[in-house]
Amino acid sequence: MPKKADREHISRNEQIRRFIKKGLTVDGYAEDIDFIASIIRQEFTAVYHIGDIKAVVEQQTNRLAKMLMKSGKMDAAAFFLLIKVLMNVTHDGTQDEFGQMLNEAVTLGVDYMQRKDFQINGFLQDTDNLRSLADKLQEALMANDIEYSKFLMQIQKMVRESLSEQNINADVYIQKVTKNNNTEFMALVIHTPGEAVSPQVYLDSFFAQCQKGKAIEEIAAELISSYAQNKDFELSDVKGLVTDFEKVQEFLRLQLINKEFNSEKLQHTPHRDFENTDLTAVLRIHLPTQEHGEATILVSDALYSHWNKSMEELYPLALHNTMEANPAKIIRMLELVKNMFSDNCIGEDIKNFQMEPYEQYVLSNSTSVGGATVLLYPEVMEHLAQGAGADFFILWD
């Protein structure tokens, strides 16, 4: 108002009187309105420059766009990973039902994205389609369980008959084995009378091959061939080997496991807690075999006592062996999902690896088995921090 009064060369009071006289109407005073608007615009731009505002908005917009793109990539990866997993666990005879499940799920997803905000609650409360999908998946899984039982019985019978034809005296049976985190596997055990240790082969991966079309006769032949090649590895000497510390020390490794999920096992197993976590390190003996990599033995309290060694002595030795055999590797989550069904998902060396903001990575070892153990390696956290150039957090798997 003072600027308008100055423009018309009148006092501020006179300007107020003129406004009152005009009844504060705006009709016919477009020139005054334009003048006031120009003053407001001038005052605004004097403090906030349009170029600066545009730069800030563009920066934040680009940042949000990148975050949404990465989120979209992860959602897409999770979607296709789920499809792959369902295809692996669903029996071949239910392919039509699986295709129908997939089509209905995609339809629901598209329908959901097209809904208005006020329609979402009603859409989510309509559970009939979701219940139908769940029922179909349950039926598929039940059929899968029945086929798995038949597969186990046939494998046992084929291996037993083949060994009998070769005049090999051995007991062949199927045994449920509880591994880390109370995970259960079905294993084929071939026990030779008088032997202290018996080889066992986990059959889950072989059943997956059978589902994909591999003949069960071919799988049984592979198992028998593997047994024949590895029986030269003198299992009868394993007891003498593991009780002789001078001989077994080079085979000692560390394994990082969850304390809660393995509480019963840990009552009879020497271990060392990983500070500020619910994880603990146990000792394993890794014995190389000819065909399928290695055989492992968990170090029990009894064996630990027989060696007459302390955990302070064994831990650094086992850690050194583990680092030498299984160096730390890191890989982008998207790369892992993309290549997880191929042999190209080992990752890169953690040293000098540069991480990008808002990306997710998988830290493991060169074998991708027991990868969490790399967190015990000295300087791993330091390498991660250097690669990230910022704070980071770890999601335990």
Kindly write down the DSSP assignment for every residue of 246-287, as one continuous string.
HHHGGGEEEEEEETTTTHHHHTTS-EEE-TTSSEEEEEEEEE
Q: Are 319 and 333 a contacting pair, CB within 8 Å? A: no
pLDDT greater at residue 313 or residue 134: 313
Nearest to 330 by CA among 259, 277, 249, 392: 392
What is the per-residue pLDDT for 33? Answer: 62
What is the per-residue pLDDT for 93? Answer: 44
What is the per-residue pLDDT for 136? Answer: 55
- The CA–CA distances, whole Å, from 287 to 122, 247, 384 equal 59, 11, 31
What is the per-residue pLDDT for 14? Answer: 76
β partners of residue 330: 348, 363
pLDDT greater at residue 282 or residue 58: 282
What is the per-residue pLDDT for 134? Answer: 59
At residue 291, the 3 state secondary structure works out as: coil
The owner of tokens 């085979």 is: 251
Per the structure block, which two tokens stand in for 120? 């979402």
> Is residue 146 scored above 60 in pLDDT?
no
Cα 179 from chain centroid (whole Å): 19
Global pTM value: 0.53
Per the structure block, which two tokens stand in for 101? 């499940």
Range of weakest confidence among 116-130, 152-166, 184-198: 116-130
Percent of the chain with pLDDT strictly greater than 70: 61
- The CA–CA distances, whole Å, from 57 to 42, 61, 70 equal 21, 6, 20
pLDDT greater at residue 391 or residue 145: 391
The owner of tokens 């592979």 is: 222
Instruction: Tell me the per-residue pLDDT of 336-359, one tens digit each, with 9 for 90 and over.
Output: 776 665 555 567 777 777 788 777
Average pLDDT, the chain: 75
Instruction: Tell me the per-residue pLDDT of 262-292, one tens digit each, with 9 for 90 and over.
Output: 888 888 899 999 888 889 999 999 876 655 5
Q: Where do the domains of the chain lie?
A: 50-125, 150-232, 237-388
DSSP state of 370: S
What is the per-residue pLDDT for 314? Answer: 93
What is the per-residue pLDDT for 213? Answer: 82
> Is residue 98 scored above 60 in pLDDT?
no
The owner of tokens 């990008």 is: 356
Q: Are 315 and 280 a contacting pair, CB within 8 Å? A: no
Instruction: Tell me the per-residue pLDDT of 147-189, one tens digit each, with 9 for 90 and over.
Output: 888 889 999 999 999 988 888 888 899 988 877 777 788 889 8
Per the structure block, which two tokens stand in for 317? 């030795």
Q: Are 229 and 290 a contacting pair, CB within 8 Å? A: yes
Q: Across residues 98-112, what is the average pLDDT?
A: 62
